[in-house]
Chain A
């Protein structure tokens, strides 16, 4: 086979298509395609994976019975537990804690710190992690965190932007909490020593993003989540709060009415442990690794929907679980980074989507669902996409425009993470465009809460991506890290108050009674016991190796 010749990271044939992008670049520098009308938006959304037929079905059991969700999601809601209740000895408690936090991303770690601030001792909090403390989507957040803290901005404008972006389906009381606390959590991070991008006078740098009406995006280069998280983790470790790693929760425990603890499983040795807790916070993040509709994902390895599965079995109500966010700009080339995130901040800084003829075919900052659908249409309906050597299609994101608009060296300074990702594959994104296609990004809906993260089940709180309501049907950029920080804080404070005021204390029983009911309902609905959940991790082992595997240990 003839060797493919690569020039600057691209095969020769793609290089020829790039020439068309270069030819029109100067003309496009002063040109912005018009934003779509509401009617045009509706039209293009027909091809969005959420609305294209064949992806969803009705949920047969549980509190949201009769509502619809993605097949991959409903598969896990309609799955049997990993363990048989009778095989687990609940009489020996391994850890007794006041507050159990499941999941150590931004939300869980914030919750721990605020509970500690409210008087709960470090040894009375237990944070469990499926993988390492910080293996979370939080740490991968690139673009920023929203907070209305400039004179021309206000929390009520942030409220309107969030609700409009969510297609008016958001739960208003939690959105209010989100926007009202936003400046406070940014201040909290500054006081803990987080380094946000600053203007020369010390003010915070604030940028626009898709669907927001004021510049209010706070960033830390393109490592916003990393900086926010590692500061919180450092503080958490300094306070010596208890935590466990590689210990996923595989079932909650209840006394039939309220959540009283959890069943932990050592991911490496297989041994189980029993935790008894007065209050439990689920902060397990989202579901990108379910690869809904066969899309690649921006999410971390452990984003497998565990928290919702566990909470649903104890009767927690879900909302907006049918709404999946596909980020418009996932990498489509090279193969090694397919699905990885290219931050919206690139388009916010002037990068333009361009088709194979070098045309700017869409306004760059439509809401994420509209933008993503327009890319799919360009590639698969209008046939104006670019085909990669492995048969994927994508459109160009013309990144060299950023330096042309903002001055040379801007990309390198503002997007070191993005530059690094492409440099590894010999592509210089400040000189050449990069190929993008929508990628599975965010769980818009989840477990319903009140403004303090409290669910309809006593003893159970949730925070972060696992929750539903605050983003409605579509989350805006910069509202996910904010969601984690605000509702991590609120759930930490609320659980602290709950355990301080409570007389429920430690007489609570630990049972699997809720599971018996759930399993019964699965049987009654005719669900065959072929699926088990939570799945904990995706499986990417090669088909050839799997076909000859003997499971001995």
Chain B
């Protein structure tokens, strides 16, 4: 049997067509020209670098991930029209501009150290042991300028050297590990790996496991909730509904 179409759904699908199945030139009014790895392409204005490259015909298997600024896969280096400066950003969160020259960075071949947190002391010496080049920081701040998350990268590297784990963790927390800092660093520091180790040390030694959580895990292991769970799991559908509708809701804090 043929189903009735829903006009609202069709309208929504049509309005989102560009975002879901590739852009059709006839929908576009404003155009710009960008240079992708040295070749000029006319692309719609107001797209991210990622979407502009796709419009030009690139199907990504590298240099793409979450497409929303969380995964750090689409590091891109670019130069704006009339400028000499090389800039960096994420292709998914940077607007393509007329006259922009760009290339994507598919991979950062930086080495990550192997370690066991529980066997290390809570001290800056751990960071220097695994990443000795961190001591070579010349405070040039190039890392900070390269960071697409606008983190104070140099500050957290200095915090690492001082063993200030709390500041290191706080300042580096929003790091998406795209690798741009390390690629630009004249001292060959792999800032994002240093920060990862530092954050884990802070989490493990500085924060630890909270008491209420330890207590609850112990209670569960001792079977404190087994009976209550046996009961709810055996409820009929009607009884479940009754319990669900009747449960009290804790107010906001």
Contact = CB atoms under 8 A, between A and B. Distances in A.
A184 B219 CA distance: 11
B83 interface: no
A205 to B, nearest CB: 9
Contact of A338 (B19, B209, B252): B19
Contacts of B94: 424
Interface stretch (B97-105, B136-144, B233-241): B233-241
Contact of B232 (A150, A156, A194, A539): A156
Given A208-B250, A293-B13, A539-B59, A300 B66 contact: yes
Contacts, number: 297
Nearest to B8: A380
B216 A149 contact: yes
B32 interface: no
A542 B46 contact: no
A528 interface: no
Interface in B9-52: 9-25, 29-30, 43, 46-48, 51
B64 interface: yes
Contact of B20 (A215, A231, A296, A546): A296
Nearest to A421: B69
A86 interface: no
Contact of A336 (B46, B113, B211, B240): B46
Contacts of B30: 1
A155 B217 contact: no
A336 B47 contact: yes
Interface string A124-152: 00000001101101011000000011111
Interface in B90-140: 93-95, 112-117
A541 B14 contact: no
A301 B67 contact: yes
A291 B20 contact: yes
A393 interface: yes
A230 B73 CA distance: 14
B85 interface: no
A53 B3 contact: yes
Contacts of B22: 539-543, 546
A52 B70 contact: no
Nearest to B52: A542
Interface string A330-344: 000011111111000
Interface residues of A, number: 109
Interface stretch (A168-176, A310-318, A487-495): A168-176
Interface of A: 1, 47, 49, 52-55, 57, 131-132, 134-135, 137, 139-140, 148-152, 154-157, 159-161, 163-164, 168, 172-173, 176, 179-180, 183-184, 186-187, 190-195, 198, 202-204, 207-208, 213-215, 220-221, 223, 225-227, 230-231, 234, 237-240, 246, 267-268, 291, 293-296, 298, 300-301, 334-341, 376, 380-381, 390-393, 416-417, 420-421, 424-425, 537, 539-546, 549
25 contacts: A47-B8, A52-B6, A140-B68, A150-B216, A155-B220, A156-B232, A164-B244, A183-B213, A195-B207, A204-B213, A213-B248, A231-B199, A238-B114, A238-B115, A291-B21, A294-B14, A300-B66, A300-B68, A335-B46, A380-B8, A541-B54, A542-B23, A543-B24, A543-B25, A545-B57
Q: Nearest 9 A-B pairs (CB), nearest first? A: A294-B13, A193-B200, A545-B57, A193-B203, A164-B244, A542-B55, A193-B204, A156-B228, A291-B20
